[in-house]
Amino acid sequence: MAGLKICIVGSGPAGMYTAGAIVKKNPDCVIDILDKLATPYGLVRAGVAPDHQTTKAVTRAYDKVMGNANVRFVGNIGLGTDIPLDRLRAFYDVVVIATGTPKDRSLGIPGEEKEGVFGAQVFVYWYNAHPEFRDAVPNLDIDTAVVIGNGNVALDVARILMRTENEMVTSDLAEHAASEIFKSPLKRVHVVGRRAPENAQFSSKELGEFAELTSATTYTDKSVLPDGFTSDDKKEEKVVNTNLDLLRSFEHIRPGIEGRSIHLDFLASPVEILGDNAITGVRFERNKIVDGKAAGTGETYEIDCQLLVSCIGYEMGILEGLPVEKGIVKNDEGRVADGLYVVGWAKRGPSGTIGTNRIDSQNVVERMMADFEGGGDPAKKGPADLDAWCAEKGIHAVSFDDWKRIDAAEIARGGEKSPRRKFVRTRDMLSIVKEKG
């Protein structure tokens, strides 16, 4: 089979694992990896918590993929804004959608439009220096925040809000976020999940970090903790029991530090966000577990707060030319239409870890190669067609070499302890490219 001209839209883990799998299966393929940002690697840069630098080391493997002669990074070009999907499909034999699920799921309750209410993506992208969310600017002159959700993202948000400047000195927390977080008088964060503690999706590593906080004590209502948890899945059983032990231990490890606290609350669902223009509190309904599912009891209570961050998952937005159904791109084992495929969260929904995308992407590539055993269309020029489009439209595409210049400048700005100080304006990144280009 001759090499195909392939365009992967999205340079996060799903897109990078897809490119790597294609290179292994057919090194003659020509691959362009598009991203709307001037920086590659998607959620590894913009989603992983700034104090989790070890997790971000996965980009070294992606750098190796980008080092292949037939692979290009084409940054600063957005699907649907700078180029429509039908143009990409006309230019390339194969287009792979690897955009993730770039939209926060709605809570679906009254009051979500109020000032001080954020989705996880907006809030996380704000403190991770995503250029599109630099100006989200939450008001942190507050005493209480509520985080909805019982997964690792909810823990990230609560932890970042409560960590001190000294604890974050080796992170790459965005400067604008740091200035707001470290001067905040915030005293309490409630992390609220609708199901029971044994159903929470926390990893033990993430939960265990709450024992290390130097300026906040973590509390849980012990009456809702089961004595133990059993399951046919022994791995799950071990994780849940470790988490239950941690939930019992926190307040003994860090008793009453500075009057600051994190409350891990369970068995409650938000039913209304209170306040006039801005949030002043959240009304919750207490739940009970019925046949493994959370069911409302009719009993309600309120938490006064001035900030709410909803961490209940993400979904695919509407994009012309893509069949979106139930928050993902409708597909048959990764195939959407002739020459059009989808991988990662856009394919299966926001689940799993960074590594989960590897097997998922490999499976889709297997199918793709089987579909194109006869080769591609010689009339399609792939990269040459895209370059002509960018020239015609005045789009300043960012190459991987350009990114390496931006990367080096950020690292230099980081100083002795921080791994980098990120640029948060695309224009500043492009100025670096132009200065040294």
Q: Are residues 134 and 198 in the same domain?
A: yes
Note the Cα 215 to chain centre separation in Å: 26
Q: Are residues 115 and 48 in the same domain?
A: no
**d(C-alpha 205, C-alpha 212), whole Å:** 11
Q: Are residues 305 and 339 in the same domain?
A: no
Full domain range(s) for residue 80: 5-102+315-398
Do the domain assignments include residue 155?
yes
Note the Cα 436 to chain centre separation in Å: 31
Supply the pLDDT for residue 253.
Answer: 72
3-state secondary structure 260-320: CEEEEECCEEEEEEECCCECCEEEEEEEEEECCEEEEEEEEEEEECCEEEECCCEECCCCC
Count up the domains in the chain and report the number. 2
Do the domain assignments include residue 423?
no
Q: State which residues of the chain have pLDDT below 50.
A: 1
Q: Are residues 187 and 288 in the same domain?
A: yes
E strand or H helix that includes residue 97:
strand 94-97
Which of 286, 312, 338 represents a domain boundary (last residue)?
Answer: 312
Q: Are residues 322 and 307 in the same domain?
A: no
Supply the pLDDT for residue 37.
Answer: 97
Do the domain assignments include residue 162?
yes
Stated pTM of the model: 0.94
Supply the pLDDT for residue 67.
Answer: 95
E strand or H helix that includes residue 146:
strand 144-148
Q: Are residues 284 and 336 in the same domain?
A: no
Q: Are residues 272 and 161 in the same domain?
A: yes
CATH number, residue 227: 3.50.50.60
Supply the pLDDT for residue 355.
Answer: 83
pLDDT, tens digit, 9 for 90 and up, residues 175-226: 999 999 999 999 999 999 999 999 999 999 999 999 999 999 999 999 999 9
CATH number, residue 32: 3.40.50.720
Which of 292, 312, 332 represents a domain boundary (last residue)?
Answer: 312
Supply the pLDDT for residue 1.
Answer: 47
Long-range contacts of 321-327 (CB under 8 A, 24+ apart): 321/84, 321/85, 321/86, 321/89, 322/85, 322/97, 327/101, 327/105
Do the domain assignments include residue 184?
yes
Q: Which residues lie below 8 Å from residue 106, measured CB to CB, with a gap of 6+?
A: 112
Closest among 186, 199, 352 to 268, alpha carbons compared: 199
